[in-house]
A and B are shown apart, each in its own frame.
Chain A
Amino acid sequence: DTAVSQTPKYLVTQMGNDKSIKCEQNLGHDTMYWYKQDSKKFLKIMFSYNNKELIINETVPNRFSPKSPDKAHLNLHINSLELGDSAVYFCASSHQRHDGTGVIGELFFGEGSRLTVL
């Protein structure tokens, strides 16, 4: 039973096209994220939603538009794809739990969606 699932796993498309990636989590978490991992494996935060509300919007081109229909789903739509958009996009969710010393934030990642723009 997959905790955080993304579709599609692979996406190959031409420059200028529009594509979407979907993410669902069944962990009951309130917060979901999109991260981009480039060819050098650098993980960069893009967006975050908490209970369907956008709370983090990093300096991402407005060709990228996230949507959260409910707190278990977070989708990413990309318009007018460019070569530089080629990367692995990870969805993640988090909850905050206490261990006596403070709040532990642990991110649970999906398996990633590898986008290749030709």
Chain B
Amino acid sequence: GQSLEQPSEVTAVEGAIVQINCTYQTSGFYGLSWYQQHDGGAPTFLSYNALDGLEETGRFSSFLSRSDSYGYLLLQELQMKDSASYFCAVRISGTYKYIFGTGTRLKVLA
């Protein structure tokens, strides 16, 4: 089977740093993506890692270790507007199929 596991919920305060982990088990791998979804909204693309290491985009960074089948999303200088659900996703190699993780609900407290 194919699965991507994430913690169900993470809570942090404004200004803090939070890390959301994703471990995956898939039949093929083209890269790990991250999406943000606010309540009632659509998932929106945040970042993508094809190779091992850290990718930085503003306050958000994403890390991948292919040997460990593991990645994380790092959010710095948390703001209230970061309260949302975050999903990791893997594109299965040789296909156009994107499999999503179980999702992590991030609550940012004042």
Q: A residues touching B (Cβ–Cβ < 8 Å)?
A: 31, 33, 35, 41-45, 48, 50, 55-56, 90, 94, 99, 101-112
User: What's the dominant secondary structure at chain A's contact region?
Assistant: strand
CB pair B100 A43 closer than 8 Å: yes
A104 x B31 contact (CB < 8 A): yes
Q: Provided the pairs A101-B51, A107-B43 are in contact, do residues A31 and B33 lie with their beta carbons within 8 angstroms?
A: no
Please indicate the chain B residues that have their CB under 8 angstroms from the CB of A106 in the complex: 33, 45, 48
Indicate if B76 sits at the interface (CB-CB under 8 A).
Answer: no
Tell me how many residue pairs across A and B have CB atoms closer than 8 Å: 69
Are B96 and A41 in touch, CB under 8 angstroms?
no
**A111–B42 CB distance below 8 A:** yes
- Alpha-carbon distance between A82 and B27 when the two chains are bound, in angstroms: 32
Binding site for A on B (CB under 8 A): 30-31, 33, 35, 37, 41-45, 48, 50-51, 85, 87, 89, 91, 95-100, 102-103, 105
Report whether A94 and B100 are in contact in the complex, using a CB–CB cutoff of 8 Å. Answer: no
Contact of B44 with A109 in the complex, beta carbons under 8 Å = yes
A101 and B96 in contact (CB under 8 A), knowing A90-B43, A107-B45, A112-B42? no
Distance, CA A33 to CA B91, complexed state (A): 13
Which residues of chain A come closer than 8 Å to B99, judged between CB atoms?
A: 45
On whether A94 and B50 interact (CB within 8 A), knowing A105-B31, A112-B42, the answer reads: no
B43–A105 touching, CB < 8 Å: no
Complex Cα distance, B90 from A45, in Å, reads: 12
Known A-B contacts A43-B87, A48-B96, A55-B96; A108 and B51 likewise in contact (beta carbons under 8 Å)? no
Which residues of chain A are near B89, meaning CB under 8 Å? 107
Q: A102-B50, A109-B43 are in contact. Are A50 and B96 (CB under 8 A)?
A: yes
